[in-house]
């Protein structure tokens, strides 16, 4: 299997000509999304600077919560993500992509299958695997090239799990590190699905159902379960 980093060749590096209009999922014309953008970016700054501001806003203001995993179509809308204040990687990437487009920056949704070692006991019991298919990220056109940005794990979560938070400067890819700060395995990229102008909802749902079967969704308080997991990891040494 080819390494993830070689997959950038599937993207077009030509300058985009037209920005897509707001859509069902990327409803950046919704008032709550407009407010999120206004509150988290400075209109007097450049588009590149605002993109970075919005990356950190989506990363940290919208908390990562895999227990919100759902195939309900409404939950993937950018406006719904802002309203909920927490989401998993795909809805968070949709929100960031919508924010970029709203300020005039070309952006696409990207997806990859990963082996993720950040988990909780409930997730391990429900998923029966450490492979997360259709992990979401955003591909943004800045400084004349496409760069990947992954605004999923908020900084508090990274600190608790001893992970390196993903920084984004608009010039280099921002994707998960293979190891945490202690040298333990963290994330392994297995397959890249490429980038999409619009969220391929039906395709993602069909492939996830085929891969995971009728798994039970993890329920409860993710933040509390993270605390339990961190305590257990500490006790194990």
pLDDT at 161: 84
Domain range list for the chain: 19-236
- Looking at per-residue pLDDT, the higher value among 224 and 142 belongs to 142
pLDDT at 5: 39
Q: Among 1-10, 38-47, 106-115, 148-157, whose mean pLDDT is lowest?
A: 1-10
Q: Which two tokens stand for residue 158?
A: 């990274």
Q: Which has the closest alpha carbon to 136: 59, 213, 83?
A: 59
Assess if CATH 3.10.620 describes domain 19-236: yes
Mean pLDDT across the chain: 88
Q: Tens of pLDDT along 186-196?
A: 788 999 999 99
**What's this model's pTM, rounded to 2 decimal places?**
0.89
Mean pLDDT of 42-49: 97
Ranges assigned E (strand) in the chain: 63-64, 86-87, 107-116, 131-142, 145-149, 187-196
Under the banding of pLDDT at 50, 70 and 90, the label for residue 125 is confident
């Amino acid at each position: 299997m080819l390494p993830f980093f070689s997959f950038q060749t599937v993207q077009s590096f030509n300058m985009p000509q037209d920005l897509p209009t707001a859509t069902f999922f990327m409803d950046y014309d919704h008032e709550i999304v407009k407010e999120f953008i206004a509150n988290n970016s400075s209109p007097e700054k450049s588009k590149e600077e605002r993109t970075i501001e919005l990356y950190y806003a989506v990363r940290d203001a919208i908390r990562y919560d895999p227990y919100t995993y759902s195939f309900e179509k409404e939950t993937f809308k950018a406006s719904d993500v802002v309203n909920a204040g927490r989401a998993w990687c795909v809805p968070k990437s949709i929100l960031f992509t919508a924010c970029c487009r709203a300020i005039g920056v070309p952006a696409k949704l990207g997806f990859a299958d990963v082996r993720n070692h950040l988990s909780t006991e409930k997730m391990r019991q429900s998923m029966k695997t450490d492979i997360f298919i259709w992990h979401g990220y955003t591909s943004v056109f800045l400084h004349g090239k496409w760069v990947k940005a992954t605004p999923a794990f908020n900084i508090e979560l990274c600190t608790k799990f001893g992970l390196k938070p993903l920084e984004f400067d608009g010039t280099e890819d921002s994707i998960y590190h293979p190891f945490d700060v202690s040298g333990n395995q963290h994330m392994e990229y297995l397959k890249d699905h490429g980038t999409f102008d619009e969220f391929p909802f039906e395709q993602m749902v069909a492939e996830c159902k085929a891969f995971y079967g009728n798994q039970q969704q993890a329920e409860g308080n993710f933040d509390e379960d993270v605390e339990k997991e961190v305590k257990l990891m500490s006790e194990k040494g």
